[in-house]
Amino acid sequence: MPSFTASIGEVSAMTQPPISEEGQDGRFATRAVVTVIAIVVIAGLLGFVLIPIAQGQSAGLSAFQAICRSLGIQPGSPAFRQPSSATVAQPVSMVAWTPEVIERLHRPNEENGSDIAANICVSCHIESGAAYDPKIPHMEGQSAFAIYKQLHDFKNGARVNELMATIVQNLDDDQMADVAAHFAVLTKGALDPRTISSGDPDIVRLVEFGNSARGLPSCASCHGVHAGGPIETPTLSGQRKDYLATQLQAFAKGERHNDIYTRMRSIAAKLRDDEIEKLAEYYSAQLLFRPQD
């Protein structure tokens, strides 16, 4: 390796001069096109032909099947048929959030909703959706989705309550949506759990952060102000204490089972009785109302 101190002229002489002939323009462009096409062809051969065929052999696929699948034009993963089973999964709730249901909840027949409420619901839930009997839940602050799901579950038996089951039997899906939207509109918004003034620090921690060591997610992750859970997640803030405690106990014992993926059953079963009491107290405490829009 020579050691030198160079001048720019010497450096210039030692490095290659740039392309300078006019005739090379066309050749350069041709080479660029050929290179790009060649790259795509090589990648295509590997990705759509060679690798699928090689891997497909071990999955019992013919070459043609393997190539088709690499292109995504013959769906049918997995490669082997799953063993069939006579067991049919039992859905815990028959509610399907179809665009039609969502549309109806967003744009209900208001007159219909208030008629049903006035004729049927107000005898227990009073006009605002609140309730006097501690066993009856407030509907204040609930979303239309939350109310609709419970009505639907009562109707088809996913959630068991004799009184409610009898009442909703005569309502069709649209009517349930209308009345759910009626009560949701009355108290548009939610009670804000962040405005609670005091609380047992352990319970506040459970609400806000959960307890990963016990496999408990935070309550707020679904029931918080900006619900991160399923759309039908009910608002807990401001709910009756007795009602909350009863429902958590029912979930824990499996008596209530209309929670999809056993979310609430598995959480409630891990809670101690005193925690259930304190959580119910926490959420039932008077909180500030937070309008939605």
- Give the binding site for another protein (CB under 8 A): 1, 3-8, 11-12, 15, 17-20, 22, 24-25, 28-29, 32-33, 36-37, 39-40, 42-44, 46-48, 51-52, 69-73, 75, 97-99, 102-103, 106, 143, 145, 190, 208-209, 212-213, 218, 220-221, 224, 226-228, 231-233, 292-293
CA distance 223 to 208: 10
Residue 65 · residue 79 · CB < 8 Å: no
Judged by beta carbon, residue 145 or residue 243, the one nearer another protein is 145
- Pairing state between β 189-191 and 289-291: antiparallel
Judged by beta carbon, residue 49 or residue 120, the one nearer another protein is 49
What minimum distance in Å lies between the beta carbon of 220 and another protein? 8
Judged by beta carbon, residue 137 or residue 141, the one nearer another protein is 141
Judged by beta carbon, residue 86 or residue 213, the one nearer another protein is 213
CA distances from 12 to 15, 16, 18 (A): 6, 8, 11
What minimum distance in Å lies between the beta carbon of 10 and another protein? 9
CA distance 262 to 264: 6
Judged by beta carbon, residue 137 or residue 193, the one nearer another protein is 193
What minimum distance in Å lies between the beta carbon of 29 and another protein? 4
SS (H, E, C) 162-205: HHHHHHHCCCCHHHHHHHHHHHHHHCCEEECHHHCCCCCHHHHH
CA distance 74 to 219: 43
What minimum distance in Å lies between the beta carbon of 33 and another protein? 7
Judged by beta carbon, residue 48 or residue 289, the one nearer another protein is 48
What minimum distance in Å lies between the beta carbon of 5 and another protein? 5
What minimum distance in Å lies between the beta carbon of 55 and another protein? 9
Which class for 235: exposed (0-12), middle (13-18), buried (19 or more C-beta within 10 A)? buried
